[in-house]
A and B are shown apart, each in its own frame.
Chain A
Amino acid sequence: GENVEQHPSTLSVQEGDSAVIKCTYSDSASNYFPWYKQELGKRPQLIIDIRSNVGEKKDQRIAVTLNKTAKHFSLHITETQPEDSAVYFCAARPYSGNTPLVFGKGTRLSVIA
């Protein structure tokens, strides 16, 4: 089955700097890669996702890149702000769509003002 590895487990950046979180997946048939953000005491919420037929997707200060050959995808946050501090989870879904998402273990991002 699918296995998703996420790195780093913790990340601290200065406000205004960029942050990058990387994930690798094992199932080459996976075709959907969402990222969820969980603020302290809150529920995880989708912030951006990418499909396997796309190499990059941007939404304001966040972007996701996908390298299907290497089976890895990354979340990029530019001009970080204190409200970006949270736990971020990557996930992957095998092609069939009839299997649930497989989540990485999460990255705790701290943005230092």
Chain B
Amino acid sequence: DADVTQTPRNRITKTGKRIMLECSQTKGHDRMYWYRQDPGLGLRLIYYSFDVKDINKGEISDGYSVSRQAQAKFSLSLESAIPNQTALYFCATSDLRPGGYNEQFFGPGTRLTVL
């Protein structure tokens, strides 16, 4: 089945380290997103990309960067990780339907701990 995958699924790192989270999809969708989930704060958008040449900042982009290497791949980087970036990170994809009525499909998540 077509799916959204994330690697790694769990990562523990130290303050100041550079970390890359990777997302791949076989759904053939053009649109990809990175979200962060913290208890009580819901799903907050970090970056999104509507095609390979399109990158947009979301609500909480500070401290993060992204790369859209191909239609199927969207990576999130933390250049210098800090403890308050400890969270569950989700990648998501969607296609484009008329009117914008497009379901988002989420990956399984990456649990990141910054010590």
Interface residues of A (CB under 8 A from B): 6, 9, 31-32, 34, 36, 42-46, 49, 51, 89, 93, 95-98, 100-101, 103-106
Contact = CB atoms under 8 A, between A and B. Distances in A.
Interface in B41-61: 41-45, 48, 50, 58
Contacts, number: 53
Given A44-B90, A89-B42, A49 B101 contact: yes
A36 B102 CA distance: 13
Interface string B18-31: 00000000000000
Those 3 A-B pairs whose CB atoms lie nearest each other, nearest first: A97-B100, A105-B42, A43-B106
Interface of B: 33, 40-45, 48, 50, 58, 90, 96, 99-104, 106-109
Nearest to B56: A100
Contact of A9 (B40, B48, B103): B40
A32 B101 contact: yes
Contacts of A44: 43, 90, 106
6 contacts: A34-B104, A43-B109, A96-B100, A100-B45, A103-B44, A105-B41
B45 to A, nearest CB: 6
B96 to A, nearest CB: 7
Given A6-B42, A43-B108, A103-B43, 11 more contacts: A31-B99, A34-B104, A43-B107, A46-B103, A49-B103, A51-B99, A95-B100, A97-B96, A97-B101, A101-B104, A103-B44
Contacts of A93: 100
B42 A32 contact: no
A97 to B, nearest CB: 2
